[in-house]
Amino acid sequence: MDLITTMNFALCVVIVVLAVVAYSNKKNAIALYIGAAFGLFGLSHFITLVGFAQLLTSALVIIRTLAYLIIVFALLRLWKP
């Protein structure tokens, strides 16, 4: 088992949980956007951990690109409300 991928997956789970907690306290949708993005990153790490990365390379590129675009969207919402 790859230690780096495992650590990245665990940290993604922590960030998703914190994003949900932050949203429930502050009612700021940007926390949910960030949580969704890291949920997608976590999904890509999980796919890698279970050994399907070679089969789903194109899907991983799409998942990670979507996650990055969600982060860009969240930052733009913060920058220009």
Q: In this structure, how many other beta carbons lie within 10 angstroms of the beta carbon of residue 66?
A: 15
Whole-model pTM over 0.95: no
Amino acid at 65: T
Q: How does 23-43 read in b/e, with b if 16+ C-beta sit within 10 Å? A: beeeeeebbbbbbbbbbbbbb
pLDDT by 10s per residue, the chain, length 81:
789 999 999 999 999 999 999 999 999 999 999 999 999 999 999 999 999 888 889 999 999 999 999 999 999 999 986
